[in-house]
Amino acid sequence: MARYDFASDNVAGAMPEVIAAIVAANEGTASGYGTDHVSAAAADRIRALLDADAEVRFTASGTAANAFALTCLVRPHEAVLAHEHAHICTDETGAPGFFGQGVGLIGLPGASGKIALPGLELALNEPDVSYRQPAAALSLTNATEYGTVYSADDLAALIAPVKARGYGVHLDGARLANAVAAGFDLRRVAKIGVDILVIGGTKAGSTPTEAVVFLDKALARRLDARLKHAGQLVSKGRFLSAPWLGLLGEAGDGGPWAARAAHANAMARKLAALMPFPLRHPVEANGLFVDMDDAALERLRARGWFVYRFLDGTARFMCSWATTPEMVEELGEALKAVA
C-alpha cells in the first residue's frame, strides 16, 4: 500500500488538541451562522495573536477563503496581481473569477515563489485601457508555494507601491504557521498594510477550517450577507471555529499551531540533510523541492513513497505536524537506495 506521509501536509489527520476542542464545542446548544460563543472566543484569540482589531470569520476551505477575500478587494472588471505560481493562479480552478464574477489574475515573476519588486512595479505602471482588466489588488503568500519565507520587511517593500495607488492587499497564509515558526513576525501584518489575511488551519493540523481576518474593518460591510451569498456562512459555525481554540491555546503564543509548525519545519531540515538529490529552493519552512528524474521518482514510488511532481518540475516533499523523525529516516534510506 502506498505511503502518503510526504505527499502534502494535508494528508495528516487533525492534532489531538483540535479534536478535543471540537468535542468540547459539541456540548449543549449554540446559536447558528457564526453568532455562537465558540466563534466569538476563537475570533478573540486570533485578534490577540495578531495584536490587532479585526473582523474574523471562518470558512471550510482555503480556496473559498482566498476567493472570497479577493471579491472584497476587487470588482469584476479588475484583476489581482500575484506570483505566477501562487495557489490562486495555479490550483484554485478559477475560483477568484467565479466568486468575483469575472475577477482576473495577473501572474508576476520571482525566484522561489517570491514576487520580484521590479516585475511588480512594471505591472503597476501598465496603463489603464478599456480592453484589459487593470490591477486593483495584490495577493501575497507566506510561506510561499516553494517553501520560502518573506520577512515582514520583504512584504512591506512589496506592499508600499501597491498602497500608494490605493489598491488592496490580501495575504494567503495557508502555511502561515510555518512562516511564523521560521521567524516571520505575525504582529507586523496589520501594520504593513495587509487588508485581508487568511490564516491556514487545515494544513497546520486542523480539521478543515481557515480564518479570514479583515484587518481593514471597512471591508467588512454586510460581511455575513456576502458570506451567505458565497455559500460560506455555515449553519453550525462553531464546528469551523472550535478547532482554533485547540490550535491556538490560551497562552497567546500561537499554541500548538505555531509549535507543531516548528516541528514540521525541523523535520524538513532533517530530511534536507539526508537528501541525496539536489535541492532547487532554500528549505525555510516545511517543504523540500528536489531535482529528481522520472526514473528515480518512479523507483521511490514503487517503494511506497508518493510525492508530487511540482509546478517547476521538481519533486515536492512536504512535512507535517505529524511527521516523525523515524519517518524521515526511513524515507532517507529509501532515497539513498533509489539515487
Distance (Å, whole) CA 227 – CA 242: 19
Express each pLDDT in 112-145 by its tens digit.
999 999 999 999 999 999 999 999 999 999 999 9
Percent share of the chain, pLDDT over 70: 99
| Sign of the alpha-carbon torsion through 174, 178, 179, 180 | positive
3-state secondary structure of 260: helix
- Total residue length of the chain: 339
Express each pLDDT in 263-273 by its tens digit.
999 999 999 99
- Say which residue the cell 490587532 belongs to: 52
Cell output for 286: 516545511
Count CA atoms closer than 13 A to 266's CA, side-chain side. Answer: 12
- Say which residue the cell 521518482 belongs to: 297
Which top CATH class is 255-338?
A: alpha beta
* 100-104, 249-253, 312-316: segment of lowest average pLDDT: 249-253
Express each pLDDT in 233-255 by its tens digit.
999 999 999 999 999 999 888 99
- 5 pLDDT tier (thresholds 50, 70, 90): confident
Element (H, E) at 161: helix 152-164
Q: Name the residue among 55, 1, 3 with its Cα closest to residue 305.
A: 3
Burial class for 7, CB neighbours closer than 10 Å (0-12, 13-18, 19+) = middle
pLDDT of residue 89: 98
pLDDT of residue 252: 80
pLDDT of residue 251: 80
pLDDT of residue 2: 62
pLDDT of residue 61: 97
Give the global pTM: 0.97
**Spans of all domains in the chain:** 16-248, 255-338
Report, at the CATH architecture level, how domain 16-248 is classified: 3-Layer(aba) Sandwich (3.40)
